[in-house]
Amino acid sequence: MKILLASLCLISLLVILPCVFSASSSSEDFDFFYFVQQWPGSYCDTQKKCCYPTTGKPAADFGIHGLWPNYKDGTYPSNCDDTKPFDSSTISDLLTSMKKSWPTLACPSGSGEAFWEHEWEKHGTCSESVIDQHEYFQTALSLKQKTDLLGALTKAGINPDGKSYSLESIRDSIKESVGFTPWVECNRDESGNSQLYQVYLCVDRSGSGLIECPVFPHGKCGTEIEFPSF
C-alpha cells in the first residue's frame, strides 16, 4: 500500500510540475524598469548614418528606446516568453503616437514595427506579470510625455545646438524637472567628442511612477558633453 501511494504521489507531482514550470517561465520576475530615451542627433553620429522611417524625419526630440525590466543587482531578464510575439493589432490605437514618440533610425527603418517588435519580445515579455502588450507601450508613451526631457533641458538653457554643456548641469536640470536622478549615457563622435546620447530614468515595478534608481548602468561620460543638433 505504501509503495502504491508513493507511486501515485510521484505521478501527481510529475503532472503538476510541468504546469508550474510553464507558468513561471512565461514571465520572469523583476524589480524595476529602466525607461530609456535616446537623442537622435547622437545616434546618427554614432552610426555614421541613420535612416528615417517611412513617415519622414522624426522631430528633433528625445525618442523612446525602451522600457526595460531590471534587477536590483544590475542584471536583467530577456526574451522571457516566446509564446507572446509582438502583435501590432494590440496597439492599433497607439500607432500614431508610436510613430511620433518611438521612431526608429536604424537602417533599414521602415514603419518602425521591427523596432517595436524587438523591444517587446526582448524586454516587454519579461514584464507580463505586471502589464500586457498594450499597457507596455502605453506606459512608455505616458512616461515620455510626463518627463519631457527636451523641455527640461531647454528651459535650463541647454539646447541641441552642437555646443558642450557640463554633465552636472544636464543631470541637475533633468532632476529638477522630473524629481528623480537620471543616468546619462554618452557616445563619442568621429572627432572623439563626448555626446549626450541616452537618458535613463527608473520606474517602479508596476510601471506607474518614477523612482530613484536602485542601481545605475555601467559607463562614464566626460565632464563636458556635446548636445548635437538633429
Active site residues: 65, 119, 123
CB-count exposure of residue 89 (10 Å: 0-12, 13-18, 19+): exposed
Nearest to 37 by CA among 157, 145, 160, 169: 145
**How far is it, in rounded angstroms, from Cα 67 to Cα 223?**
27
Other CB atoms within a 10 A radius of the CB of residue 111 amount to 16
* Distance from C-alpha of 114 to C-alpha of 68, rounded to nearest angstrom: 17
In contact, 47 and 195? CB cutoff 8 Å:
no
Torsion of CA 171, 176, 180, 182, to 10 degrees: -20
C-alpha cell at 149: 526631457
